[in-house]
Amino acid sequence: MKDALVLVQRFIAHPDSRCWFVAWNPGGTLLASCGGDKAVRIWGKEGDSWECKTVLQDGHQRTVRKVAWSPCGTYLASASFDGTTCIWKKKNNEFECLTVLEGHENEVKCVAWAPSGNLLATCSRDKSVWVWEVDEEDEYECVTVVNSHTQDVKHVEWHPTQELLASASYDNNICIYKEEDDDWECRATLEGHTSTVWSLSFEQDGKRLASCSDDRTVKIWKESEPEDGNTDKLWKCVCTLSGFHARAVYDISWCHLTGAMATACGDDAVRVFQEDEPSDPDQPVFSLAACAAKAHNQDVNCVNWHPKEAGILASCSDDGDIAIWRYQTDG
């Protein structure tokens, strides 16, 4: 490995609790984090360092598991173990809780915005995926509840350009959903992992999907043309990365600027993979390009590439810290 992950800054984000997730706003000027302390924190850059700008602590009664910015950057959604999702609206650098989405029977594990900003997806330990519609008056309505998984749903991820939704579950499977006659339906089930699928990340053009699992592997799924007159695209596993991670892989982030893929692992490491060139699209090969072996003192829960600045990566951990990295390539 000639490339390197260089630590830019490390800071305590959620004292005395886990930091579960970090999300950049679309412009990359703010970073939202959430944790076991029931709070969401908003970080902004002051000179060369990241400082806490705001703490949102009145929205949830239990752990906040995921946060997601709307494509316009005005709204922030937070998903909590208290069974609710809060929608925060940013106005003049202040955030107010606009509405609370209720309905899931227990812990909400993830929330994600569609690229249009008009749809929101949530998923829960109750095994369901909900799709919410947002109107111009900031009213949120649940338009579909899908029960395609048999276990806890860990993650939802929208396709970057289409209204296509993917979910990952404790049942080891990935589901792909599409709207049909005003109803969202599971149109494909991706089977291949042998344990919990923790997270998903689409490539920039959405033609490939990366998944990471408790089985210590990363899989790359490629969209292919339907067969036998079927209208739905098929998703086939074209690559499995195994032997790189010593424990569960909790998160994966596919950089839309460079194509590099980062993973967060239970062995305390952050790794970056690059696709070998030239690469057969039906049999791609990914190599380990860089590894920060002791990126954190405990499990790494999340990795997220900066949306505007190539090579900048944020990670967070059970140790409560956020780390900002610069991925430097050799050449």
Query: Which pTM does this prediction carry?
Result: 0.96
Structural domain count of the chain: 1
- Identify the weakest region by mean pLDDT among 123-137, 147-161, 217-231: 217-231
Tell me the helix, strand and coil percentages in the chain, rounded to 5. Answer: 0, 55, 45
d(CA 13, CA 318): 11
Look at residue 255 in the predicted model and tell me its pLDDT: 98
Q: What would the two tokens of residue 216 be?
A: 């210590």
pLDDT exceeds 60 at position 1: no
Report the pLDDT value the prediction gives residue 279, as an integer from 0 to 100. 76
- Taking only the tens place, the pLDDT of each residue in 46-88 is 999 999 999 999 999 999 999 999 999 999 999 999 999 999 9
> What are the C-alpha distances in Å from 193 to residues 168, 216, 221, 254, 271?
11, 9, 12, 19, 20
Q: What is the pLDDT of residue 2?
A: 66
Report how far residue 161's alpha carbon sits from residue 175's, in angstroms, rounded to the nearest whole number.
18
Helix (H/G/I), strand (E/B), else coil: 164: strand
Taking phi over 0 as left and psi of -120 to 50 as alpha, with beta for the rest, 293 belongs to alpha
Domain harbouring 25, CATH code? 2.130.10.10
Of 25, 26, 60, 10, give the one whose Cα is nearest residue 40: 60
Domain that holds residue 263: 4-328
What's the mean per-residue pLDDT of the chain? 95
| pLDDT at res. 227 | 72
pLDDT at residue 225, as a whole number: 81
The mean-pLDDT minimum among 104-113, 271-280, 292-301 falls in 271-280
Contact criterion met (CB below 8 Å) for 123 and 129: yes
Q: b/e map of 241-262 (b: 16 or more CB within 10 Å)?
A: beebbeebbbbbbbbeeeebbb
Write down the pLDDT at residue 331.
Answer: 58
Whole-number pLDDT of residue 53: 96
